[in-house]
Amino acid sequence: MFELDRSQYPQTKPDGTLDIDLSSGKYLKLWQGPQHPGITGNMAIELTVCGDEVVEGKTHVGYLHRGFEKLMERRTFMQCFPIVCRICVPEPDFNEYCYAAAVEELAGLEVPEMAHWIRTLILEMGRVNSYMMYLGGQAGALGLGVIGQWTTYVRDLMLDRFEELTGARIYHMFILPGGVRDRLPEGFAKRMEETLQEMESTLADVERVMFHNAVFKKRTVGVGVIETGWVDSYGITGPNARAAGVAKDVRKDQPYLVYPELDFEIATGNDSDIYTRADVRRRDAQLSIDLIRQILAKMPKEGEVMAALPNVLHWKIPRGETYVRGECSRGEYGYYLVTDGSGYPRRVNVRGPSYTHSIALFERMVVNANIADVAALLVSLHTYPPEIER
């Protein structure tokens, strides 16, 4: 039986950290990033390696948009919207919803029912697009580039639907305090169904070519395992938790918008490795397609989409505080908002899942990993750096 030679491995210091002496010649410092490693955006991983084995990894951010929370404290409540959507570029709508819902709760606004349905539709459109980007990145991190070409194509089709509905392809700014900006265009449901059929066909191809690929399985099965006991201690949420057998999903645990009126079961797994996390996200993408169909079938045909607002240039919200959460493609997304009776937020704190997943969790998981697996491991946690730099 093969036994690893650990004689060159760093010893542990009394404080529990590794005794890494770069001058000894046993270790080498490598950097991955800050250019895009996979789909994770501009961030850098400082790796210390012994041979081809990682002995230490540190996450470095600060290369992208940053300082969102403090910028919002110097702007009116409506001026914050061009800022919040940039906290997560591939899936901006959860920032719009969480911020709008927090403002509505503190301002005492009643959102029309029609707006709730359209908001849910937009969030599921954003979720499935985020998963399409992830699947292409996860395959590309292991050399399977064709998957990214397929998923980028169908993701672009969904961006056509976003542009048709909101007028924009990336930053939509469609969900505002009090509701949404407009109703669905005429014929939108028919064109959406055509897009969903293309997505379903692509997901079927992805399952065959990616998930039944012997090389992909060899590189991902049993690699990057998250222990179930880590879920609560590290604050792991979303597919990273569900792949470990912990059925966490805010849509089920604390239903919001119109999710109580939709019929669905969340996808889970047990092996908690890179392969299982990818498979949970693939099934979750299919679930979002099903939910979009349910929403379009059940939503009312008529109704108001925006509540009456005061003059937003001079809008003062009473003193208070609240926390609003939702389930994005990466896990629990939340906004803690404090108001002091002025026309500006007193304090904003954004809880994005990438903060815990790509710093505390990743820095633990990358130790003892092979250099070749670092990119795939990081992508499997599905992180977006602006959530960290907020």
Q: Are 91 and 328 in contact (CB under 8 A)?
A: yes
Q: Among 59-63, 109-113, 178-182, 238-242, where is mean pLDDT lowest?
A: 59-63
Number of domains in the chain: 1
- Separation of alpha carbons 203 and 194, rounded Å: 14
Tell me what pLDDT residue 60 has: 86
Q: What is the mean pLDDT of residues 54-64?
A: 85
Does a structural domain hold residue 44?
no
- Separation of alpha carbons 149 and 128, rounded Å: 16
Q: What is the mean pLDDT of residues 159-166?
A: 94
Share of the chain above pLDDT 70, in %: 95
Q: What is the mean pLDDT of residues 327-356?
A: 91
Q: What is the mean pLDDT of residues 91-109?
A: 92
Query: Using the 8-state DSSP alphabet, how is residue 264 labeled?
Result: -
- Token couple for 133: 């980007």
Render 27-67 in DSSP notation, one character per residue: -EEEEE-SS-STTS-S-EEEEEEETTEEEEEEEE--SSS--
Runs of H (alpha helix) within 108-234: 113-140, 145-166, 188-206, 214-220, 230-233
Residue 387: pLDDT band with limits 50, 70, 90: confident
Residue 52: pLDDT band with limits 50, 70, 90: confident
Q: Among 57-66, 128-137, 189-198, 301-310, where is mean pLDDT lowest?
A: 57-66
Q: Is the pLDDT of residue 11 over 80?
A: no
Does the bond joining 34 to the residue before it have cis omega, within 30 degrees of 0?
yes
Q: Is the pLDDT of residue 382 over 80?
A: yes
Does a structural domain hold residue 210?
yes
Q: Is the pLDDT of residue 36 over 80?
A: no
Amino acid identity for residue 315 in this structure: W
What confidence tens digit (pLDDT) does each residue in 265-280 have? Answer: 999 999 999 999 999 9
Q: Is the pLDDT of residue 334 over 60?
A: yes
- Token couple for 130: 């985020």
> Which residues lie closer than 8 Å to 14 by C-beta, 6 or more apart?
none
Which of 17, 34, 5 lies closest to 388 in space, CA to CA? Answer: 34
Residue 61: pLDDT band with limits 50, 70, 90: confident
Q: Is the pLDDT of residue 141 over 60?
A: yes
Tell me what pLDDT residue 152 has: 93
Instruction: Tell me which H or E stretch contains 326.
Output: strand 320-328
Does a structural domain hold residue 20?
no
Tell me what pLDDT residue 13 has: 72
Does a structural domain hold residue 234?
yes
Q: Is 223 exposed, middle or buried (0-12, 13-18, 19+ CB in 10 A)?
A: middle
Q: Among 46-55, 85-94, 292-301, 338-347, where is mean pLDDT lowest?
A: 85-94
Q: What is the mean pLDDT of residues 341-357?
A: 90
Share of the chain above pLDDT 90, in %: 61
Cβ density class 113-144: b for 16+ within 10 Å, e for less: ebbbbbbbbbbbbbbbbbbbbbbbbbbbbbeb
> Which residues lie closer than 8 Å to 223 by C-beta, 6 or more apart?
273, 274, 275, 369, 373, 376, 377
Tell me the sheet residues that pair with 54: 49
- The CATH number that applies at residue 140 is 1.10.645.10
> Which residues lie closer than 8 Å to 340 by C-beta, 6 or more apart?
319, 346
Does a structural domain hold residue 4?
no
Q: Among 12-16, 187-191, 192-196, 370-374, where is mean pLDDT lowest?
A: 12-16
In angstroms, the first-to-last Cα distance of the chain is 49
Q: What is the mean pLDDT of residues 322-329?
A: 93
Q: Are 63 and 44 in contact (CB under 8 A)?
A: yes
Which of 331, 334, 292, 260 lies closest to 128 in space, CA to CA? Answer: 292
Tell me what pLDDT residue 64 has: 74
Tell me what pLDDT residue 173 has: 86
Does a structural domain hold residue 57?
no
Residue 81: pLDDT band with limits 50, 70, 90: confident
What confidence tens digit (pLDDT) does each residue in 350-365 have? Answer: 988 888 888 889 998 9
Does a structural domain hold residue 370?
yes
What confidence tens digit (pLDDT) does each residue in 213-247 have? Answer: 999 999 999 999 999 989 999 999 999 999 999 99
Cβ density class 57-85: b for 16+ within 10 Å, e for less: bebebeebbbebbebbeeebbeebbebbb
Residue 120: pLDDT band with limits 50, 70, 90: very high
Tell me the sheet residues that pair with 347: 338
- Separation of alpha carbons 149 and 363, rounded Å: 30
Tell me what pLDDT residue 355 has: 83
Does a structural domain hold residue 208?
yes
Question: Domain limits at 338?
Answer: 68-389
Mean pLDDT of the chain: 89
